[in-house]
Structure 1
Amino acid sequence: MKLTTYYFTLSGMILFNLMFGPLVRATDSGLACPDWPLCYGKFVPEWTFHIFMEVGHRYYSGAIGILVFWGLFRVYKSEGKGLLFRIAILSSVLLVSQVILGALTVTKLLHPTTVNLHLLNAILLLLTCGTIALLAKKDTAAWNWPPQAWQIFVLLLVGIFYQIFLGGKVSSNYAGLACPDFPTCYGEWIPPMEGNIVYQMEHRYFGYLLALLVFGTTSYAIFYLKAEKVKFYLKLASYLIVLQILLGAFNVIYHLPKLLTGIHTLNAVLTLLACYTATFYHFRKVS
């Protein structure tokens, strides 16, 4: 298997895990095993649905971990100690921190801060593996610095990452139904900011601003940039952000269906990946 295929496959596995994790939480399986890394002191515990979700997530994450370390070895063998190797080392460091955060998520009884850090660290791991996959394609020749309007692209990535963080706060603080209606909250556009309503509304407000930023960046690329790949991935991000708003609305209207909450997280990460890939090609010269 070619290196680029290996890392695209690995990135796909991590992406699936970013939906698997929220499903563990949505099904109230996060503390199905009170201990870590074993479950009730056993490597293979007695199965219930909740234990299956929790232990399945652990086993699947363990398989990903093995592949990340094997990828580091493959990069070293094929590319030496260059840029790809340094990024692969970073992915291994992020993997170690992900394991530690996973353990803390259990031992700290799903503390919101730990849960959020666990999610964000997983996304960073995905981005590092995705970067290796893109660089290994060798369809870009060199860094293009400073690219046109690079600040907008950086702001876009930071904005999406922050919005995912806000979504994590909503989930980890069980604020998904703090407002029973959408797009208003208890019939008000600006409700009293108290209790869990704060988490819900700051996520919504920033989501609206982020949607405008995605649409604006896409429009700018269409009219002023020449790179077709940048335009393609930004257009994709625009479609995904519309879908994300609809998924958010359906989550509220239908009272957080378990599968839909996982898809909502998955789509948010896909939006980030689309914008990240557009930024990658904006900062690299196509060979």
Structure 2
Amino acid sequence: MHEQQGRLALLKALSLVGVAATVVVILVGAWTRLVDAGLGCPDWPGCYGALVVPDEARALAHSPDTPLEGAKAWMEMIHRYVASALGLLVIVLVVLGRPLRRRPDYPWGVSLGLLALILLQGAFGAFTVTLKLWPQVVTLHLLGGLSVMLMFLWLHLRLRRCASGRLTLGGVAPPRRRLTPLWGVAAALLVMQLALGGWVSSNYAGIACQGFPTCNGEWWPALDWSEGYHLTQAVGPNYLHGQLHAEARAAIQVGHRLGALALGVALLALVLSAWRERAMRPWLAGLGLAYGMQFLLGVANVLLWLPLWLALLHTAGAVALVLGLALAAWAWRALPPQADTIRQPTEKEWAHV
């Protein structure tokens, strides 16, 4: 038993490290994209056929049509190195957790799900390069990174509950409060808004609209929605700096703004509906603060013409918003369930008491 508790303590610590490390990977990836280093290495997983950035002569011999830009190549490789380290961390978590897999409350399925997700995310990283920054893949790669972060967080929270030994009646976990439909609406709108943000970034539409709240001096300018949200265009040859015309990019930017408005309304409704629970108020206040800061960062990026450091903060704000909603939902589930949702123990469960 003492050995199990020690192993659980190590797994808890490593899973929390995984959350922080994933945030770092997401931000490094965002910076790589912002400085146009996504194609700093034209191949994958190496860089001009090497595991480290080679000299100009070797790069020229490997890819004569793609001149080496050292700073961008190193930025891209640093992103790959930290992402690979994150993958190794997931493997360590699975290996260390395997002896506990038969324990009823151990989140073995979450560990395996995290491993599958990190492998899929690695594939999207490769496709980002081989498909030359195709917007669909770049957007899915961003959503995948956030999903990995959430899986690490979920694993950590489950491990904390497992280590605390909070079990009742024959190893059955205590009942948890159900999420209301409003939580689902808020989560769905957040995912949509994150996808819209990734679409803005991958299509270089961050400053397609000058000014706020108007767009290019108009409340409803000329917008090409069909081209801006055309998801079946051909791949390539290269999406660096984007390929869409101004009206299509403006449509993407306006769509992102409308998504922010819808998300804000949903989060406000969620906060108001759950505020009656005193234990929820710190989590709800944090969620509201994260949304407010993210909204202001988005406005500032438009008004200040997308400075790199501010664009990176906007990505960090998205990370904070995702963590805020996830932690608030976990806190809500941890509240005592309402009377009509409490499941009565079965005779078999009573027999184990």
What TM bracket, shorter-length normalisation?
Answer: over 0.9
C-alpha separation in 2, matches of 1:59 and 1:78: 30
Partner of 2:18: 10
Summarize deviations over 1:231-282 as a string: whole Å, max 9, x none: 3222101001111111111111221111221221121121111111111222
How far is the alpha carbon of 1:130 from its aligned partner?
Answer: 0.4
Which consecutive unaligned segments of at least 5 residues does structure 2 have? 1-8, 56-69, 168-172, 225-247, 337-353
1:281 aligns to 2:331 (yes or no): yes
SS at match of 2:124: helix
1:19 aligns to 2:18 (yes or no): no
C-alpha separation in 1, matches of 2:318 and 2:21: 16
1:52 aligns to 2:51 (yes or no): no
How far is the alpha carbon of 1:144 from its aligned partner?
Answer: 4.2
Give the AA of the match of 1:92. L
Q: 1:121 aligns with which of 135, 144, 149?
A: 144
1:232 aligns to 2:282 (yes or no): yes
SS at match of 1:5: helix
Identity of aligned residues (%): 29
C-alpha separation in 1, matches of 2:112 and 2:335: 25
Give the AA of the match of 1:59. Y
Rg larger for? 2
Residues 94 and 125, structure 1, Cα contact 8 Å, conserved in 2? yes
1:110 aligns to 2:133 (yes or no): yes
Partner of 1:242: 292
Could you tell which deviates more after superposition, 90-99 or 152-161? 152-161
Partner of 2:89: 67
SS at match of 1:196: helix
Summarize deviations over 1:178-231 as a string: whole Å, max 9, x none: 1011221012222222211111001001101211211221122112x35x1x33
RMSD, aligned α-carbons = 2.0
Bigger relative CO (Cα 8 Å, ≥ 6 apart): 1
Could you tell which deviates more after superposition, 251-260 or 168-177? 251-260
Q: 1:94 aligns with which of 92, 95, 117?
A: 117
Residues 143 and 285, structure 1, Cα contact 8 Å, conserved in 2? no
C-alpha separation in 2, matches of 1:166 and 1:25: 16
C-alpha separation in 1, matches of 2:296 and 2:283: 20
The TM-score normalised by the length of structure 2 is 0.76
Q: How many positions carry a matched residue from both structures?
A: 283
1:186 aligns to 2:216 (yes or no): yes
1:162 aligns to 2:192 (yes or no): yes
Give the AA of the match of 1:96. L
Distance 1:117 1:196, change over 3 A: same
How far is the alpha carbon of 1:146 from its aligned partner?
Answer: 5.6
Summarize deviations over 1:64-117 as a string: whole Å, max 9, x none: 000011111222234546551100100000011011110000000000001011
Q: 1:171 aligns with which of 201, 212, 217?
A: 201
Summarize deviations over 1:95-149 as a string: whole Å, max 9, x none: 11011110000000000001011111111111111001111112666464662x6
The TM-score normalised by the length of structure 1 is 0.92
